[in-house]
Amino acid sequence: MAKKGKDYFGLPWLISLILAIIPVTSWLFGAVTRFQEGKPVAGIIRLLLLGWNVIWIIDILCVLFTKKILRILNM
Condensed to tens digits (0 to 9), the pLDDT of residues 11-24 reads: 888 888 888 788 77
Condensed to tens digits (0 to 9), the pLDDT of residues 35-75 reads: 888 888 888 887 887 656 676 777 778 778 887 766 666 55
- Specify burial of residue 67 (Cβ count, 10 A radius: 0-12, 13-18, 19+): middle
Q: Is residue 19 part of a domain?
A: yes
Q: Is residue 17 part of a domain?
A: yes
**Residue range(s) defining the domain that contains residue 24:** 13-66
| Count of domains observed in the chain | 1
User: What's residue 37's pLDDT?
Assistant: 83
Q: Is residue 1 part of a domain?
A: no
Q: Is residue 75 part of a domain?
A: no
Asked whether the whole model's pTM tops 0.85, one would answer no
User: What's residue 3's pLDDT?
Assistant: 45
Q: List CB contacts of 4: < 8 A, sequence separation 6 or more.
A: none
Q: Is residue 7 part of a domain?
A: no
Q: Is residue 8 part of a domain?
A: no
